[in-house]
Each structure stands twice: as C-alpha cells, then as structure tokens.
Amino acid sequence: MDGSNPKDLAGAAAGFGWADSDAHALVAALMELLPTLRHVFHRALGGRQVTAWEALILLGVHRRGRLRLWEVSRRMGMAPSTLTGVVGRLERQGLVRRVRDQADRRGVLLEGAPALAGWVAQVEVDLERDLGLRLESLPGDLVPRLARDLEMLGAALREPEAGGPARPPSRPPG
C-alpha cells in the first residue's frame, strides 16, 4: 500500500477514523469509486487509440460543439503546451480540427471532425452496455439525482478559495 491506489487510500482513511466528517467521508467514498469508474471507462474505450483524457476532450467537443482551446485547457487542468500535442494526435486520427474563431481572430476553436459523431456513438453504446447494466438495480431517481449533485459538487470545488483561485493540476496524472 504505497498510496498510489485510491482504493487503498480510502480504506486507510476509514481505518484510521479519518472519515469522521462529511467532507472526509465524501473524499473517501469518491476515492473508492474512482478505480471502478476508471476501469469501466477504459473498457468502453476498448481498442480505440485514445487516452481517457483525450476521450474526455472528444466527448466535450461533441457535446458542446466548438470549444476555445484555452477553455479546454482550463477544464482539463492541462497546460496549453500539453494540450497542443494532444489536439495534434486527435487531428491526425481525424476526430477533431482546429479552426480560427471568427469573432476573435487570435482565438482558436476546437471542433469535431465528421468522424467524431460515429466515434462518440460507439463509445456511448459500449459505456451504456457496461455501466447501464450495473445501474439498473438502483432506484430510478437515484442516478439522475447523483449526476446533478455531483455537478454541483464539482462547481463548488472549482470555486476560488479565500487564499487564491482553485486550480486543477497543471497536467494529467500518469
């Protein structure tokens, strides 16, 4: 148990009585779920030649349409220089393209290439097949409620703290 496995950390936190407050219990529960969610997501990606971080970018572009590169960088907590390489790989695979922002000629937008819609549709089918089956046993209103609550939690965690702005990691872990 070297602390690199979130499940080990969650178990250790609970074992030492660290999960004695709502905040601690929430962190422990999320850390325990993270490996399982990561496994399900990687399985849905199958043999596709993208990382989980790249897949999140692709799903975001597909859902939101065009995104400013600085916005993708901020949302992913990824340095712009790192994002440039990631976007280059996704462009070479024919899934996205960079276009100039007509409203701000200095800005660059990331948009889905025609192949992206089919790629997303297949990932969603594979994810639904795996995760959807696991969620069927839960009460009908729980999953949508959890999704909304987790969105609110994410927004609250991204709020600037008294000592300065909350910042995501400068690059993806791993």
Cα 63 from Cα 58, distance rounded (Å): 9
Spatial contact of 101 and 68, defined as CB atoms under 8 Å apart: yes
pLDDT per residue as tens digits for the range 11-40: 555 555 555 677 878 887 888 888 888 888
Query: Would you state the pLDDT for residue 171?
Result: 46
The label of the residue with tokens 């000592």 reads 163
Q: Average model confidence (pLDDT) for the chain? A: 80
Place 135 in a pLDDT band, splitting at 50, 70 and 90: confident
Place 173 in a pLDDT band, splitting at 50, 70 and 90: very low
What value does the mean pLDDT take over residues 142-152? 91
pLDDT per residue as tens digits for the range 60-75: 899 988 888 888 888 8
Residues forming beta bridges with residue 164, ordered by sequence position: 161
Is the domain covering 51-158 a CATH 3.40.50.1820 domain? Answer: no
| pLDDT higher than 60, residue 154 | yes
Query: Would you state the pLDDT for residue 127?
Result: 86
Neighbouring CB atoms inside 10 A of 9's CB total 19
Query: Would you state the pLDDT for residue 115?
Result: 93
Cα 30 from Cα 51, distance rounded (Å): 21
Contacts of 36 (CB under 8 A, 6+ apart): none
Spatial contact of 98 and 110, defined as CB atoms under 8 Å apart: yes
Query: Would you state the pLDDT for residue 112?
Result: 94
State the angle between helix axes of 52-64 and 80-92 in degrees (0 to 180), rounded to the nearest 10: 80
Ranges of each domain in the chain: 1-45, 51-158
Query: Would you state the pLDDT for residue 157?
Result: 82
Place 87 in a pLDDT band, splitting at 50, 70 and 90: very high
